[in-house]
Each structure stands twice: as structure tokens, then as C-alpha cells.
Amino acid sequence: MIVLGDLMINLGNYEVSIRGESIDLTLKEYELLKYLAMHRSRVFTRDDLLTAVWGYNYFGGPRTVDVHVRRLRMKIERHGVKIITTVRGVGYKFGE
């Protein structure tokens, strides 16, 4: 279980909730959120995240990370929680 304020990531059953309300995420969104949360405050480049979350054999472009982060933010921020920070010119990190 990873808890940050009102956000809870249940590692045992792939569930994410905010204030007890379940958030519907795709598997990649969940894996991305979990990876960032497990490495709080560390800044990751797009390539770092592609390797860690999508794997070495992923052939798509690095902008897929931006798309997934945008969708993940939309789903989480509509509940008033901001947890993924953009580090300009570098990448992303979990936390503010």
C-alpha cells in the first residue's frame, strides 16, 4: 500500500482510490503511477519511464509517456489531487 495524502495505491489488487473513491486506470496508467510513487521525489526522463514501465522492447516514441501522464493527471486531478510534477526540460516526478 502506498499512501500520499488522500491518494491510496493498493499494490495487492491494482486499485487506486482518492478519499475512498476508486479511480479507473488502464494497466499502463496504474504501472506508471505506481513506479513514480515508489520512487518519490526522484525525477525521471521520458526514456527512464519508457524503460521502467514499458520495457526495453518498446518501439513507440517517447511522447507516449506525455500522453499517459496527461490522462493520468486528468483522472486524478478531477478529484482535487495534484501528485505528478513536470520538471521542465527533464521529465516527471511524483509529488510536488
Domains present along the chain, CATH in parentheses: 27-94 (1.10.10.10)
13-39 average pLDDT score: 95
The structure's pTM equals 0.89
Rounded CA separation 93/53 (Å)? 14
Give the single-character DSSP code of 30.
Answer: H
For the chain, the helix, strand and coil percentages under 3-state DSSP, each to the nearest 5: 40, 25, 40
pLDDT of residue 96: 67
Give the pLDDT confidence of 47-84 residue by residue, as tens digits: 999 999 988 676 667 688 999 999 999 999 999 888 89
Rounded CA separation 45/92 (Å)? 7
Q: Tell me the three cell numbers of residue 63.
A: 511522447
Give the pLDDT confidence of 29-43 residue by residue, as tens digits: 999 999 999 998 799
